[in-house]
Amino acid sequence: MIDIGFGTFCTSADGRISTNHTFRIKNLIFEKVMESFNANLRDLFRLLDLCKKEGIEIFRLGSNFIPYASHSLFKQEWLSKIEPSLIEAGDKIKQNYNIRITMHPGQFIILNSPKKEVLENSLRELKYHFWVLDTLGIGEDGIVIIHIGGVYGDKKRAIERFINNVNENKWLKRRLAIENDEKMFTAQEVLAIAKTLELPFVFDLLHHKLNPSSFPMEEIIKTWNGKGIPKFHLSSMGEGKKGIHGEYVNFEDFIELIKMLRDTGIKKVHLMIEAKQKEKAIKKLKDQIVIRNR
């Protein structure tokens, strides 16, 4: 039997608690940053309490935690004013919670873009993510997950660019993890990149089903060697519209992933449940597992 630690992200199911408070860029001043940051910090602990209560083992911090922190108009000295609160928060997390914290920046982070500016912006954004996790004192398993990026009409070149850009910015390897996406890069392709760069591979079942390929699951698990408990994304298709995350996870999808994992002999995994109903979706899944095992 595989030991499964479930994970949730950014907000509570009712949407009332969020680590993604923000404001409009035209209103960017230090006071607005602090207002959102303080709300995000307060809600982070509310969410960590919720996770503790629900037995959730992994939490994804929202990328808006410090709004516009990587924007060119954001003054870097503001970060040094925020730093003490983050260090304090990190201590509090270590003392009171046993939870893994990760991040997953948005679709704008593209390390294989042919445009110099896009690459630079992406690196700045990733640097901010690393800084947050480092300042909180989060361990090595606090990964930052991204997709490979665009294809630009030549996938081989696009992959080469990704590999070169990571190799030219070696600091990325400390926390970077890569994920297969639902359109462009299959699990098979991401696995090859992960092996070349020695990056952990976060396998996403829904993306794999929309963009299938064949690969040995043991190889995916091997990419996690020394980088924490192997992490997977699990979600189900929303009703009607394709590609959109559903409210809950279909039990069949859960079973499908577990079947893939079972034969590898892995003992423990983290499953990030990407469902709109967040902690409620986890609860429902756990209930179904209990019923199934009865």
Partner DNA sequence: TCGAGTCAAGTTCAG
Partner DNA sequence: CTGAACTTGACTCGA
Q: What are phi and psi of 267, to 5 degrees?
A: -95, -35
Q: Which stretch binds DNA (CB under 7 A): 100-108, 136-144, 214-222, 260-268?
A: 100-108
184 part of the interface to DNA, by CB under 7 A: yes
DSSP alpha helices (H): ranges in 168-276? 187-197, 205-210, 217-222, 251-262
For residues 115-150, b (16+ Cβ closer than 10 Å) or e, as one string? eeebbebbbebbebbbbbbebbebeebbbbbbbbbb
β 3-9/231-234 pair status: unpaired
Coil, strand, or helix at residue 247? coil
Among 80, 95, 107, 225, binds DNA (CB under 7 A): 107
- Which segments of the chain does DSSP mark as H helices, in order? 30-54, 77-96, 116-135, 155-167, 187-197, 205-210, 217-222, 251-262, 278-293
186 part of the interface to DNA, by CB under 7 A: no
DSSP bridge pairs for 272: 7, 233
Part of the chain binding DNA (CB under 7 A), chosen from 147-155, 187-195, 249-257, 259-267: 147-155
Residues of span 242-281 touching DNA by CB under 7 A: 243-245, 274, 276, 278
Counting contacts by CB under 7 A, is residue 70 touching DNA?
Answer: yes
Rounded least distance, CB 122 to DNA, Å: 8
Single out the segment in contact with DNA by CB under 7 A; choices: 47-55, 64-72, 223-231, 253-261.
64-72
Closest by CA position to 101, among listed 144, 70, 69, 72: 144
Stretch that binds DNA, among 9-17, 50-58, 192-200, 280-288 (CB under 7 A): 9-17
Does 134 engage in binding with DNA (CB under 7 A)? no
Q: How many CB atoms lie within 10 A of CB 275?
A: 25
By the rule CB under 7 A, 31 interacts with DNA:
no
Residue pair 238/247 in contact by the 8 Å Cβ criterion: yes
Number of residues that bind DNA (CB under 7 A): 51
Residue 121 binds DNA (CB under 7 A)? yes
- Tell the smallest beta-carbon distance from residue 147 to DNA (Å): 8
Residues that bind DNA (CB under 7 A): 9-11, 15, 18, 20-27, 36, 39, 60, 63, 68-71, 104-108, 110, 113-115, 117-118, 121, 125, 149-153, 182-184, 235, 238, 241, 243-245, 274, 276, 278
